[in-house]
Structure 1
Amino acid sequence: MFKLTTICASLALLATSVVAEDDISFSACGLIGSYYPSPHILKSSKTASSINTTFTQVFDKLIQDGGSEKYGNITVNSTSFSVVIFSGAADLREDPTLFEYHYTSGMDFQETGTNLTSNTAFPVGDLTMIFTVYTWLVKMGETWDAPITKFLPELKTLDSSSIASWDDITIGSLAGQVSGLTRTSNACEIGHSCDWNEFVLGLSKEPFLFRSDTTPIVSYAAYQLLAFAMEKGSKGHSFSNVLKEAVFEPLGMASSGLLDDKSSNQSVFAIGGLNMSQTGEPGAISIVSSISDLVRAGHAMLDSTLLNKAVTRRWLHGTYSTSNLRNGVGRPWEVYHSGSTPISPVLDAHTKSGTIGKYASYFGLVPELEAGFAILAHDSTVADRKLDLNVHADIVSEALGYFVKAAAEETVARYGGSYGVKDGNGVFGQFSITSNGYGLEVQALRDQNGADLRKEYANILEIEEADLDFRLYPTNVQDKSRHQFVAVYQDKSAPIDMGTPTCITWQEVGAVSGIAHRFWFELDESGGAARILIDQGDVVLERSE
């Protein structure tokens, strides 16, 4: 099993690469998820071209040399893999792929006689959990607080030696890895439907490890309960049909389905690498998919194709912490809180890793960047569940760093620069990115009468003007004609901002009267700022040409 932190640890370093400097004594404490507006990367853009050129060369060289000093070694003769990076931008729905790379090992080609393509089907293991939860949201709605016994009342009569109650287990705790249930019922087999009576009998022998909503532990049985509940809600339709009707068919995921006895005769890549008799719940580990289908799904998740946007926002968030400060848990996400230092801003990546037999997979979304990635791999020489994707993940994380750079560059191009008064001379506002934080730093700000607002705000806040860090962060309150930003003020000399990991600016937005906290950029037809309005339009500054 590869390390879950790999891709995001590299992303953490790259998240500050556009403004990185050594020995920064102050790091601006931004509002999480609001560092820059999401970049809009066209397939014909410089960023997309750079990603394709750079990382095609990286993978080519890696395969040629069997690894590198920077990334580590790979088993070229036996490991086949596919990698993709995609955008969640609405206008790229028909073709959101920005980079893809496929490699078929000599051993796999000899066995299968085929080369990997974007449509090659792989068992994706634990990635199944994402689609079980996604399907629940599409079909059953956002019912996180409802007990599972509402949908499967039979559980109330389940004989158990545990004092924990089935009524306490909610849909949210099942989806969010905090049900407290044992890992597996030992009653289901990969490639076969799971019988309810056998599942319940197996689960009754040792159902609970913890009371629900206590601590995250993976339970395959939890997702099978969701699958059973959806089957029952669909008047007996199989879980396979529920998935198809709710997600696969609407999104055109033609290569996706459940592993079953017929899969041996279908297009699953190197199916001999999977032990079809191993135990495991279909609702947790038995989906087959392809790179192209994972791109369709990832784009749909980011763009709220099948869900209400508010539901999507709530879903793409962590819900629990783990014993490591960097790692969180969602429904069913593995959330990595990336940041290069204890006081640097955090960028969350919502990921899910999967292993099954001699296959490994990795899928992730970074909502703030409207970006996602997927990796699928096979190696017939490794032990079951031991295929390592660390090298591939490191490379993909560097490619995602280009999105951060693009976001910073687009922010400056669209909103930065000089502003003045209409029909007047001189600079009344100056906004730019800096080396010690995200957002737009307000380097100068005066009202129409020439009063120095930056100095005035520093006096009100009792901060030396030279020590005032004054930044604007984008919100998602926007339309085609305007975009709202909010102001965050910090004292660069304050010990809390220099030596400790505490970041409490989220408590301070709008807390002090007499200083502006709401800034509106009015946009022109190209989407760039034409002017800025402070608070209720008390100050209006025109962007300079």
Structure 2
Amino acid sequence: MKSAVFASLAVTAQATTYTPVLGPVFPRASNLSFSDAFQRLTANLTTTLEYIISSSSESIINSQDTSFALQIFSSDTGAPDVNHTLFQYFYTSPATANASTGVTQVDENTVFRIGSASKLWTVYTLLASAGETSLYDPVTKWVPELQAAAVAAGTNDAVDYVRWEDVTLQELASHLAGMGRDYAFADLALEDPDLASKGFPTLGKNDTPPCGATAACTRAQFFDGITQAHPMAPTSFTPIYSNAAIQILSYALEAITNKTYNALLEEYLFEPLGLNDSYYDVPADNVGIIPGNASTSLWGLSAGDETPAGGLYASIKDLSTVGRSILNNTLLSPATTRRWLKPITHTASLSYSVGTPWEIFSFENVDGRTVDLYSKSGDLGAYSSMTALLPDYNVGFTILAAGEGTTALVAALTDTVANVLIPALEEAAREEANNVYTGTYSAQTNSSLVISIDDGPGLRLEQWISNSVDMFQVIRALNGIDTPDIRLYPTGLQQKRNGCLYQSFRAVFGSLESAGEAIGPVTGSSITWELVDSYKYGNVGVDEFLFELDAGTGGMVSVSPRALRESLQKS
């Protein structure tokens, strides 16, 4: 337990750096398409994309052969159209325009292969059909081949055998099962018949995978091989990307529900979300983009039982629909979605974490605050994809590409979009907050609040009087701060009652005083999350504020510093 004395010392040591808790610092902006900041974004992004395509100095895209589609979407019901698409851009390369098979013009209904973005759809289907509690089951409960392998391995050396009895579905979904990446797929013994001349020993028939070169492995072949593969690490030791883990996860899902994976996709994803351009099996050529031909591009490759890990097909419209449904809690409860949109493990990079099966990248916002991008990329043959969500703003974007060098293109486009989108969304939220929340609030008890917005995060409390007492002096005494800087941040808690919308905020009592440089991450990191709700009055936090808005107009009515038990009307 942190004492009040420790809290005072800790706050004083935090210097002038703004340190809100993790999450948005303004309520999410509605009607983004009407925001000046977002309109500037769309103009700048269009110019940037056109430059990338046309500039001969750019190595990001092979514009003669590679086509792509990009959409930015919002879950906000005030978005400009029924699909809530805020921005979209389509580029059709000359090679696609002159193709003899497939489409010759890329639009929102053009079908691409989405590669490993299939993993996201597989986990989403599991959560929607089997529920999140199933993630904590051991895989041996649902996959008899692994139960048998665990029994057969017994107490054999852990260096040679995966401890299947220790592996949970959660670890499979978040790449923490400690197992290898694939079985048979991209095995050098199948790809290069002349490896003996390159220093590799000649393999016997039983050592060479019997599948994976010209056809996907059957379930029996897959388990015969994967149970003999050496483990990479103990469970939950380090994340190691694994396609095979998601394939096993799909087998477990089928056992839990007693339905095929294909049927589950139709019932829990395709039908309820209206995904009309998404496919499990190879679709007709005329709906998709096919660089080269169906064979060389892998358009026509049936991934078989590996489809849940990387074999699905979708349009940019359907990819965005899936992302929007996650932000909107269409198929899952809000609580389940919030738990899902959290990291499970770190990687060796400070800005890169792993979820279920999210690839989570941390961007630094203009005020130095961390904003997390929850993404899932995918690559297969001539195709690459990206689904990216920004839960702080209820906005996401999707990218599909087909042609040469698509992996690097999608990665570059993701960084490009995120680096301009995040500041624009922040500015749009700031603009709207300035119109709604700032101003003077008062009551007849000689109590008042003055709220403004400056270059820092959140709502700035400029003046706070309660029953003629200057509450800044009270905060100085409580926290030992000579020059308090009080900022209000939304907590995400809100409720509609009797025609009003109530939004909860918490104050962070910072300091405008300067402090010494940080020695390292311990002295340089924000400890605000440890200090929220440090001071209470009658079991109500001194830092708790409740705003009342008119639910119809969105206009501000009042604010209540809840520990002081009074409501101040906006002037």
TM-score, length of structure 2 as denominator length? 0.82
Amino acid corresponding to residue 106 of structure 1 in structure 2: P
Amino acid corresponding to residue 374 of structure 1 in structure 2: T
1:52-451 to 2 correspondence within 5 Å?
A: 52-66=42-56, 73-90=60-77, 92=79, 94-111=82-99, 112=101, 114-142=104-132, 143-158=134-149, 159-160=152-153, 163=158, 164-186=162-184, 195-237=218-260, 239-260=261-282, 264=285, 267-270=288-291, 271-275=294-298, 281-339=306-364, 344-380=368-404, 382=405, 386-397=407-418, 398-422=420-444, 428-435=448-455, 437-447=456-466, 449-451=467-469
8 Å CA contact retained: 1:66, 1:74: no
Q: In the alignment, is residue 540 of structure 1 matched against residue 567 of structure 2?
A: yes
Q: Percent identity?
A: 29
Amino acid corresponding to residue 219 of structure 1 in structure 2: S
**Structure 1 unaligned runs (5+)?**
1-23
**Which position in structure 1 is the counterpart of 2:473?**
455
**Which position in structure 2 is the counterpart of 1:529?**
556
Deviation at 1:490, TM superposition (A): 2.3
CA distance in 1, matches of 2:157, 2:360: 31
**Which position in structure 1 is the counterpart of 2:205?**
none
CA distance in 2, matches of 1:89, 1:340: 22
Deviation at 1:240, TM superposition (A): 2.2
Number of aligned residue pairs: 506
CA distance in 2, matches of 1:441, 1:498: 25
Q: In the alignment, is residue 479 of structure 1 matched against residue 470 of structure 2?
A: no
Amino acid corresponding to residue 185 of structure 1 in structure 2: Y
- 1:130-161 deviation line (CA, Å, top 9, x unaligned): 00100000011002211112222331111456
- 1:222-243 deviation line (CA, Å, top 9, x unaligned): 1001111222334352x22221
- 1:26-54 deviation line (CA, Å, top 9, x unaligned): 32111101422122134455455434333
CA distance in 2, matches of 1:363, 1:83: 10
Deviation at 1:536, TM superposition (A): 4.5
Deviation at 1:216, TM superposition (A): 0.7
Amino acid corresponding to residue 382 of structure 2 in structure 1: K
Deviation at 1:162, TM superposition (A): 5.2
Alignment RMSD, CA only? 2.8
8 Å CA contact retained: 2:70, 2:316: yes
In structure 2, relative to structure 1, the CA distance for the partners of 1:66 and 1:291 (3 Å cut) is: farther
8 Å CA contact retained: 1:485, 1:519: yes
**Structure 2 unaligned runs (5+)?**
1-13, 186-210
8 Å CA contact retained: 1:178, 1:213: yes
Amino acid corresponding to residue 540 of structure 1 in structure 2: S
Amino acid corresponding to residue 176 of structure 1 in structure 2: S
CA distance in 2, matches of 1:455, 1:79: 63
8 Å CA contact retained: 1:123, 1:259: no
CA distance in 1, matches of 2:275, 2:212: 24
Amino acid corresponding to residue 506 of structure 2 in structure 1: V
Partner-residue secondary structure (3-state), 2:116? helix
CA distance in 2, matches of 1:269, 1:400: 33
Amino acid corresponding to residue 521 of structure 1 in structure 2: F
- 1:330-384 deviation line (CA, Å, top 9, x unaligned): 001111122269x93211110112111121111100111101001111124x4xx
Q: In the alignment, is residue 503 of structure 1 matched against residue 523 of structure 2?
A: no
Partner-residue secondary structure (3-state), 1:405? helix
In structure 2, relative to structure 1, the CA distance for the partners of 1:498 and 1:513 (3 Å cut) is: farther
Partner-residue secondary structure (3-state), 1:368? coil
Amino acid corresponding to residue 119 of structure 2 in structure 1: M
**Which position in structure 1 is the counterpart of 2:204?**
none
Amino acid corresponding to residue 368 of structure 2 in structure 1: S
Amino acid corresponding to residue 145 of structure 1 in structure 2: Y
Amino acid corresponding to residue 118 of structure 1 in structure 2: E
Q: In the alignment, is residue 518 of structure 1 matched against residue 508 of structure 2?
A: no
Amino acid corresponding to residue 163 of structure 2 in structure 1: S
Structure of larger gyration radius: 2
